[in-house]
Amino acid sequence: MHVIEIASVHKRFGARVILDGVDAVFDEGSIVSLTGPSGSGKTTLLGVIAGMLKPDRGTVTYKGRNIFRMGDLRRSRLRNREIGYVFQSFNLISDISAYQNIVYPALINRTARDISQRVRHLIEYLDLGGIIRQYPASLSGGEKQRVAIARAMINRPSVILADEPTGNLDEANGTKIFSLFRDLAREQGVLFIVATHDKNIIQYSDRHFHVENGRCADATPVPVKRHRKATS
Ligand SMILES: Nc1ncnc2c1ncn2[C@@H]1O[C@H](COP(=O)(O)OP(=O)(O)O)[C@@H](O)[C@H]1O
Ligand SMILES: [Mg+2]
């Protein structure tokens, strides 16, 4: 099923055209990598998909609903419950602990259930037990990133948008994050759209889109056909 469909999306900042007619569909349970040179518009596109940045033209549909036709309250609720976002610069709240940052989106979600169990699971899986009471300023880049990822997952969203989520992680932690994404995609049908330069993520993603010159092109490699040797 297409979870997200974007059609003819245009976005400019002042006179600069950033997105110049982007069309794409993204399916349930898949990991999509989004590449492109710095400044090409990857973060802008993620912001549009998340409903945070209104395009000048074009539509973004989430499970058949045009998100920019909704009122602000409905769109905010949709974002809170259905769309997790891992910001490139983390955007953690500085005067509450890592634990409180992770739980925060669940506190404003009246439909959230089993929050404490969920948060325990994320802390364990992302190996955050040792730092959970600390404030963001005292965390390393990798720790902040894992807290930001846990926060994006707390409400069990159907879609997770991640802006260079492994950029600050060492290889072992990067691999772990990717395998968590993979498990959630396979087991719970979560769609991941990941802006990244990470070769492993690009290689193992289900789809690969490349943003450049205002366009977003499907760059998924065509599987190489294996020619079986004729057996006699
Ligand atoms: N709010 C903004 N106002 C003006 N220009 C912006 C704004 N956000 C992004 N840009 C510009 O749009 C271009 C694309 O930015 P971005 O989407 O962040 O690229 P990427 O994530 O691919 O590096 C950049 O040149 C950036 O400077
Ligand atoms: Mg960016």
Q: Quickly state the pLDDT bin for 169 (edges 50, 70, 90).
A: confident
CA distances from 192 to 120, 163, 184, 188, 198 (A): 22, 11, 9, 12, 15
| pLDDT at res. 231 | 55
Q: Find the 14 Cα to ligand 1 centroid distance in Å.
A: 11
Q: pLDDT-based confidence at 213, cuts 50/70/90?
A: very high
pLDDT higher than threshold 70 for residue 25: yes
Q: What is the mean pLDDT of residues 183-202?
A: 93
Would you say the CB of residue 43 lies under 6 angstroms from ligand 1?
A: yes
**Ligand 1 pocket mutation, candidates 9, 11, 13, 85, criterion most atoms within 8 A of CB:** 13
User: What is the mean predicted confidence (pLDDT) over 23-29?
Assistant: 97
Ligand nearest to the CA of 38: 1
pLDDT above 60 for 232? no
Would you state the structure tokens that stand for residue 142, as one six-digit string? 């990798």
What distance in angstroms lies between residue 45's CA and the mean position of ligand 1's atoms?
10
User: How confident is the model over 86-93, as a mean pLDDT?
Assistant: 93
Q: What is the mean pLDDT of the chain?
A: 93
Least confident of 143-157, 163-177, 193-207: 163-177
Q: Is the CB of 36 under 6 A from ligand 1?
A: yes
Long-range contacts of 17-24 (CB under 8 A, 24+ apart): 17/214, 18/44, 18/214, 19/44, 19/45, 19/48, 19/55, 19/214, 19/216, 20/213, 20/214, 20/215, 21/58, 21/214, 21/215, 22/58, 22/211, 22/214, 22/215, 22/216, 23/216, 24/209, 24/216, 24/218
How high is the pLDDT of residue 125?
Answer: 86
Atom of ligand 1 nearest to the CA of 40: 22
> pLDDT-based confidence at 229, cuts 50/70/90?
low
Residue nearest to atom 8 of ligand 1 (CA): 44
Where along the chain do its domains lie? Answer: 2-218
Mean pLDDT, range 86-114, rounded to an integer: 93
The CATH T-level fold of domain 2-218 is Rossmann fold (3.40.50)
158 C-beta closer than 6 A to ligand 1: no
Which pLDDT tens digit goes with each residue over 134-147? 999 999 988 999 99
- Higher local confidence (pLDDT), 141 or 209: 209
Q: Please compute the mean of the pLDDT values over residues 171-177 and round it to a whole number.
A: 84
